[in-house]
Amino acid sequence: MSHPPKILAFAGSARRDSFNKKLVKIAAEAAKAAGAEVTVIDMADFPMPVFDQDLETQGVPSMVLRFKELLNSHQGFLIACPEYNGSITPLLKNAIDWASRPDPDVAPKSLQCFQGKVAALVATSPGGLGGIRGLVHVRAILEGIGVIVIPDQKAIPNANQAFDQQGKLKEERQLKGVEAIAQTLVEITAKLSQ
């Protein structure tokens, strides 16, 4: 790779001990090992009000602008998605909704921080399905706004037993699955960024 692809990695959770925050760190390390330049962020550091177009007319919140800058400056996204009631978390949906709005100082073009970007999705949950139902919705939303979401994804069940004290996955099979997805993301992002 002449220029390593830039990957933004985050979990759709603000909870301090989130299993998905642990998972995205593992995936991010695998993406780095595959040759990407990876930035890991914590969505707790980007508090955004609930999207409201009336609020938007008063000025886009600074945290939204910071988040959009990060999305714009990366070619790929690695997202660990908790599942709430079989769907996307309010935090992740709200962040996507805000970021999808046109930039105030740019020609009125929405979705510029999403279109043509590549994403990989992973999830973990204490339940037996590992968050797979939520990934369906996240994939549909991202694809609908122009993100190329790689077909492979990983959902790890029984999250409360899947990680050791250091936040590492206990099962080699699960780890290999996450690493393979991260590697695929890096390879596809690199090819599409040439």
Instruction: Write out pLDDT tens, residues 163-179.
Output: 999 999 999 999 999 99
What residues does each domain of the chain span?
6-192
Q: Which of 51, 50, 29 is nearest to 40 (CA)?
A: 29
In this prediction, residue 106 has a pLDDT band, given cuts at 50, 70 and 90, of low
Report the side by side order of strands in the sheet with 118-124.
37-40, 6-11, 76-80, 118-124, 148-156
By CB atoms closer than 10 A (0-12, 13-18, 19+), residue 14 is middle
Assign domain 6-192 one CATH number from 3.40.50.360, 3.90.1310.10, 1.10.287.70, 2.115.10.20.
3.40.50.360
Instruction: Write out pLDDT tens, residues 1-49.
Output: 568 999 999 999 999 999 999 999 999 999 999 999 999 999 999 999 9
